[in-house]
């Protein structure tokens, strides 16, 4: 059995992760949501894995994927999301958010007058999408499955009342590189590109503006994930991380991000704590 998160730490067996998360999704959604699940699919790896896990747990007919393109959503993302939905056999809705973005811009124009566009406008996109997902949940009875991972959640790379919404944070205990590893294992088990290869090879991006990448705001995941693992799973403090060989400036930056985003984590959906129930790979 392969290891996940090479270079992160002990890692967890991908097969055990898949089985645990499928079981947790099935139990949670059937207990709280009549067996119906709703996922915002973006063409990115996190939403792809959550959607695939939901299909494994509930069946394709019980899962609805929602595409919510903005003016900045690339054709690549749309094609990747469509390919994922086809591979998984799920129904989808497409609800463009540009009209709502324009309405917000108009309503906030006076209040924002004289201020340059910044994270406030970026976060509106996520909050519009979160509102759409929760409205669909209210209307049709599906539970919204959150698609955030542990790397992003730990450092606050998420938007309150936006992409942090949902009933269950399915992959909230998986680091970003573990997400990729579990996706690839799922593809192996399915005998092909269950999750399209383009999703697994493209650069991570929330597409909040043209050319935007996660690395605009975060250290690269191959750098960030090992540091987070050492701090959160192994318990190394700032001094210990520096002694372990991590760059002091990077350590200071990341730990400050963790501290500053605690209020977000306190408002996050529950997540299956797989590290507490599955022994680490040794």
Distance CA 11, CA 14 (A): 9
Q: How confident is the model at residue 276 (pLDDT cuts 50, 70, 90)?
A: low
Mean pLDDT across the stretch 179-203?
A: 93
Contacts of residue 262, defined as CB under 8 A and 6 or more positions apart, other chains included, come to: none
pLDDT score recorded for residue 65? 98
Burial of residue 74, with CB atoms counted within 10 A of its CB: 0-12 exposed, 13-18 middle, 19 or more buried: middle
Q: How confident is the model at residue 12 (pLDDT cuts 50, 70, 90)?
A: low
- CA-based end-to-end distance of the chain: 11
Classify domain 14-270 at the CATH superfamily level: HUPs (3.40.50.620)
Q: How confident is the model at residue 162 (pLDDT cuts 50, 70, 90)?
A: very high
CB atoms within 10 A of CB 86: 11
Q: How confident is the model at residue 191 (pLDDT cuts 50, 70, 90)?
A: confident
Helix or strand holding residue 144 (H, E): strand 143-146
Question: Taking the model in full, what pTM does it have?
Answer: 0.92
């Amino acid at each position: 059995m392969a290891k996940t998160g090479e270079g992160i730490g002990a890692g967890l067996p991908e097969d055990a992760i898949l089985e645990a998360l499928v079981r947790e999704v099935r139990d949670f959604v059937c207990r709280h949501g009549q067996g119906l699940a709703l996922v915002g699919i973006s063409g990115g790896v996190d939403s792809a894995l959550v959607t695939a896990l939901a299909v494994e747990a509930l069946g394709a007919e019980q899962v609805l994927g929602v595409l919510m393109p903005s003016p900045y959503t690339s054709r690549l993302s749309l094609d990747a999301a469509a390919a994922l939905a086809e591979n998984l056999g799920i129904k989808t809705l497409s609800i463009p958010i540009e009209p709502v973005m324009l309405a917000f811009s108009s309503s906030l124009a006076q209040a924002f007058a004289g201020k340059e566009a910044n994270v406030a406008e970026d976060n509106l996109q996520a909050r519009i999408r979160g509102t759409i997902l929760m409205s669909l949940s209210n209307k049709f009875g599906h539970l919204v499955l959150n698609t955030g991972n542990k790397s992003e959640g730990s450092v606050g790379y998420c938007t309150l009342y936006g992409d942090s919404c949902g009933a269950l944070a399915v992959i909230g205990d998986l680091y970003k590189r573990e997400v990729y590893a579990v996706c690839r294992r799922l593809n192996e088990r399915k005998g092909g590109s269950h999750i399209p290869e383009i999703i697994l090879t493209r650069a991570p991006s929330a597409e909040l503006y043209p050319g935007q990448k996660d690395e605009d705001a975060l250290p690269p995941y191959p750098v960030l994930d090992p540091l987070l693992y050492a701090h959160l799973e192994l318990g190394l403090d700032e001094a210990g991380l520096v002694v372990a060989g991590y760059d002091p400036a990077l350590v200071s930056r990341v730990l400050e991000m963790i501290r500053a985003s605690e209020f977000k984590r306190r408002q996050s959906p529950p997540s299956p704590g797989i590290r507490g129930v599955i022994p680490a790979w040794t």
